[in-house]
Amino acid sequence: MQIAEGRTEGPLSFSGAVPHGAAGNPIGSVMMSRIAMGDTVFVHASDIQLLDSPTVNKVIDWQPDVALAAGPPLYLDRLTRGERERAWANAARLARNIDTVILDHHLMRSEEGAVWLDRLSATVGRKVYCAANFMGQPRQLLEAKRVQLYEHMPVPDAWHDDYVAGKTDPDDFLAEMRWPAWGPQVSSFE
């Protein structure tokens, strides 16, 4: 495999290392990718969390038509007020400079993230999507409902270990639980 960081080859470009969240955090770094397809440019900014303004500048500088990025992890108490404000300002900058912005991953792990996304759309005066919205699907915030889901769909004690060892299949478990027939009810949990 060739090292891609900082390289451009044909329609593909890759960033150098950028912070996985805020600059200087101990979590490490990630790499963003830019794909040019004809007249359309797509940027994937996985796990940037909108917490580092120079990283957001790089996304904007790449002039994408569509950008997919991880929003901030609002569910984490360690996220400071300043980081929340920076993430908001960076998300608004993306939405004002890029035609289609999709924010997901960390952001959609909580009900607060869904409200934040809707408020962002209203503030910037244009639709900012989560991945489900972009695909025309209803939001199913499964991670936000994790406690309720485990209460409603308890897994056997050793199930996770068996899954890692390849001894069980999630499709079998979901079929046993009658998923997806039960799935749409997820949004009704309070």
Tens of pLDDT, residue by residue over 155-190, are 888 988 999 999 988 888 777 776 655 554 444 333
Please check whether residues 74 and 97 belong to one and the same domain. yes
Please check whether residues 32 and 90 belong to one and the same domain. yes
Please check whether residues 36 and 115 belong to one and the same domain. yes
Note whether 109 and 73 are within 8 A (CB). yes
Confidence at 1, pLDDT banded by 50, 70, 90: low
Question: pLDDT digits over 14-27, tens only?
Answer: 999 999 999 988 88
Of 122, 139, 156, the one marking the end of a domain is: 139
Please check whether residues 119 and 190 belong to one and the same domain. no
Domain that holds residue 90: 8-139
d(CA 137, CA 99): 20
Please check whether residues 91 and 53 belong to one and the same domain. yes
The per-residue pLDDT for 97 is 98
Please check whether residues 20 and 80 belong to one and the same domain. yes
d(CA 118, CA 181): 27
Please check whether residues 128 and 181 belong to one and the same domain. no
Please check whether residues 39 and 71 belong to one and the same domain. yes
Has residue 1 been placed in a domain? no
Has residue 129 been placed in a domain? yes
The number of distinct structural domains making up the chain is 2
Has residue 2 been placed in a domain? no
Has residue 91 been placed in a domain? yes
What do you get for the CA distance between the two ends of the chain, in Å?
A: 47
Please check whether residues 129 and 153 belong to one and the same domain. no
Please check whether residues 112 and 182 belong to one and the same domain. no
> HEC string of the chain?
CCCCCCCEECCEEECCCEECCCCCCCCCEECCEEEEECCEEEEEECCCCCCCHHHHHHHHHCCCCEEEEECCCCCCCCCCHHHHHHHHHHHHHHHHHCCEEEEECCHHHCHHHHHHHHHHHHHHCCCCECHHHHCCCCCCCCCCCHHHHHHHCCCCCCHHHHHHCCCCCHHHHHHHCCCCCCHHHHHHCC
Please check whether residues 121 and 161 belong to one and the same domain. no
